[in-house]
Amino acid sequence: MSLIDEDEALIAAALNGSAFAWEKLVKRYESKIYNHGLRLMGNSSDAMDLMQEVFLGVYRNLHRFRGDARFSSWIFRIAHNKAVDLNRKKRLLAGYPVDSDNEGDVFDSFADEEGEEPELELLQSEQNRNIMAMLNILPFEQRLIVELKVFQSLTFEEIAEMQDISENTAKTRFYTALRKLKSVTEEYHVLS
């Protein structure tokens, strides 16, 4: 049985009330969704909130899943929408305009021996801490493009359709994001 068929079997069993099937389905995707949330939201508590919101959304809408698309695509679309909502709420609560870029000293976020952000200390590897710090300097929209392109391996066409933007806009945002990351890492390596 392929993974896709197995997903569908688990969904059918969960819809019939099998708690075991539901748990197995969640276990299959929780790591991907949690790591997706970590990179997008920038800290573990928001990533946990996002993950719980995503699976709650999946649970509430499982009966609507028709199998036209792959379950993984469907769940990541839910995750994308929930991440956008969560980011908007966070910005509004913090009193920042929703579309404003992140500001502040980029290098404060990079891992070093003297001090790190508490949330980043929870991460397992220094490499992950550096990647998180890099992603955190990007505006949320660019971070989303990088996430979808680099980590989810979506095409620009799929990204454009998901974000309701043109394909060219998606390409430009991705290129701009990479340039920003490149300049930051170059500057960091020069200073260190």
Say if residues 83 and 144 touch (Cβ distance below 8 Å). Answer: yes
Give dist(CA 71, CA 78) in Å, integer.
11
- The reply on whether position 13 binds another protein by CB under 8 A is no
What x-and-dash track marks residues 35-74 binding another protein by CB under 8 A? Answer: x--xx----x---x--xx--xx--x---------------
Only one residue has tokens 């649970």, namely 59
- Rounded to a whole number of angstroms, the minimum distance from the CB of residue 131 to another protein is 5
Give dist(CA 135, CA 125) in Å, integer.
16
Closer residue to another protein (CB): 94 or 190: 190
What residues contact 35, with CB distance under 8 A and at least 6 apart?
47
- The reply on whether position 100 binds another protein by CB under 8 A is no
- Rounded to a whole number of angstroms, the minimum distance from the CB of residue 46 to another protein is 13
Say if residues 142 and 176 touch (Cβ distance below 8 Å). Answer: yes
Give dist(CA 146, CA 22) in Å, integer.
31
Give dist(CA 114, CA 95) in Å, integer.
31
Interaction with another protein in 154-183: which residues (CB under 8 A)? 155-157, 171-172, 174-175, 178-179, 181-182
Closer residue to another protein (CB): 14 or 87: 14
Say if residues 62 and 11 touch (Cβ distance below 8 Å). Answer: yes
Give residues in contact with another protein (CB under 8 A): 14, 17, 19, 22-23, 26-27, 30-32, 34-35, 38-39, 44, 48, 51-52, 55-56, 59, 123-125, 127-128, 131, 134-135, 146, 150-151, 155-157, 171-172, 174-175, 178-179, 181-182, 185-186
